Amino acid sequence: MISLQDVTKAYGEQVVLDRFCHVFTTHSFTAIQGPSGIGKTTLLQVIAGLLPIENGRVVMDDQVTNTREQALHPALRHLGFVFQFPALWPHLTVRQNILYGLMRQPHTLREERLAEIISSLEIADLLAKRPAELSGGQARRVSLARTLVTQPRYLLLDEPLNNLDTRLKDQVLTIVSDYWHKHQATVIWVTHEPGEVSGLSPVVRTFCPSGLV
């Protein structure tokens, strides 16, 4: 469960989240829909602990993670974040990028998860390449693989279908949906495209938050 309680976030004098309140229930799949510039990405970054807040608090599984005075480190929140832009480590290969979050795990576990994720996303032939050698769609899939391989409890996705053709969009939707069910995850999916996740209805709740200004 993720609960945002009277959360205010501003950039200087520009208020983006205005006493925003919402509860993302455990194992829910929520699509946040709306045009560019209303604060959807800011909302995800606040939940992830990547941005400080001015007022209010964020609670995740009964643990207060964000207040004005302090915030729990993002690495301790059991979440995965698929950014709007892939944000891959440029000096690492695709293989190294994907496995970055599993560096402290046993070798066998790393290899098992790697094999599974590269097969489902059709990126096995990219493992030796570096991000500069990838197309936009390939980088997007590698970014998703890097997130899912850690099996996060909370999955935050910011425009995850950018730069993908129709076939790959359907593939990514299926992979995220399967992950959601298999791991009982809580998924928050940001999009500006109406109906992007309509194929998953009626289990997906889609809304354009009034607290985003």
- Which residues are within 8 A (CB) of 107 and not within 5 positions of it... i.e. 6 or more apart? none
pLDDT band at 209 (very low <50, low <70, confident <90, very high): low
| pLDDT tens for each residue of 32-49 | 887 777 889 999 999 999
Strands (E), the chain: 2-11, 14-24, 29-33, 55-60, 63-66, 79-82, 154-158, 186-191, 204-207
Rounded distance between C-alpha atoms, residue 136 and residue 145, angstroms: 14
pLDDT given at position 213: 46
46 neighbors 7 (Cβ within 8 angstroms)? yes
Model-level pTM?
Answer: 0.89
Looking up tokens 């991000």, which residue turns up? 131
Residue 117 CA, chain-centre distance (Å), reads 16
HSE-up of 30 (CA within 13 Å, CB side)? 22
Predicted confidence (pLDDT) per residue in 123-156, tens digit: 999 999 999 999 988 999 999 999 999 999 999 9
Q: What is the residue whose two structure tokens read 């402290």?
A: 104
Residue 191 and residue 43: Cα distance in Å, rounded?
12
In whole angstroms, give the CA distance from residue 4 to residue 7. 6
* Fold of the 2-207 domain: Rossmann fold (3.40.50)
Prior bond of 74 cis (ω within 30°): no
